[in-house]
Structure 1
């Protein structure tokens, strides 16, 4: 009987060389409709995007999240971090996620999709859950971006726990938040291209 492939341990990943990341010069924070329209024009030139969302954490029992507060989309060249405070900016993001012209690839997107349906009032189309590709390859455990980058590129993808649990609803996102959000989406797209050499 063929054995199932093993997911790398945290200790094994820690030994790997770091994965290249997008710098701030290739990340754009989007908070106005004009910025969103410009970003949308750039994104629609690509047929596959990295996709993720961030929501302000909830700490009280029974407290419901009103996220997502941030939606991040990336091409191989750049990433855009969209804030959803402005209704017209939110509408532009909703139109992008409902656009059938591009695959939106990411990890663990089940909760993201539910929150998007609730807040943006749309069903994202052509969403590609990268975890499914690893399950098809025989991995039993849930594969997230850190394990995927280790398996596909033999590199360590750094994720800041402080940024992950930070307040994503704030108007003035920090540099560490921008780097965290953008690179989550960008790394997902890199994995998509590595898994599917000729992306659909």
Structure 2
């Protein structure tokens, strides 16, 4: 069994993150689209450039001892000026859907876990989720938004995280992807059950856990 290192990603390493997120999305869904490499290269550049524009985001990555990313998640406190990925992808205006005078809005994205089942487990999945939700749930007057694979959407509900679709799904990065709102209540319930998984960026996460089939892992983009 190996140990996993958790750390906050530096802006200088955004290209590595973008490459990991895009490649893992297509890997999970076995996409066979023609000219797939060209499509992936464009998405990698777009995600890199988009993340570079966000000044108030925090990206947590899990790495193995070969210093390879095996998991990632990003939280972003919306400043109401930047156009979020969910707005761009689905042509929606969040200010028309959420009362920004009442709620602080967070975006959760770039959530991916390496497909290789020998390197990842359900503990890593839940740990990354708990760390992101902990950032969001500092106050109760918050909601989170995300665009996620429909299979992950079912998994979130099984874990007790409420998620409500905003509009119709689209095909993105190899899978059916839907925009969702994640209310505070469901996020807080998950966090309370898994608070023991929280750790500082310097702490090591020991992977002495039962591994699950990699087909159960899906992604926020």
TM bucket normalised to smaller: 0.3 to 0.5
**Structure 1 or 2: larger strand share?**
2
Q: Could you state the TM-score of these two structures normalised by the residue count of structure 1?
A: 0.33
TM-score, scaled to structure 2: 0.31
Q: State the structure with bigger RCO (CA 8 A, min sep 6), 1 or 2.
A: 1
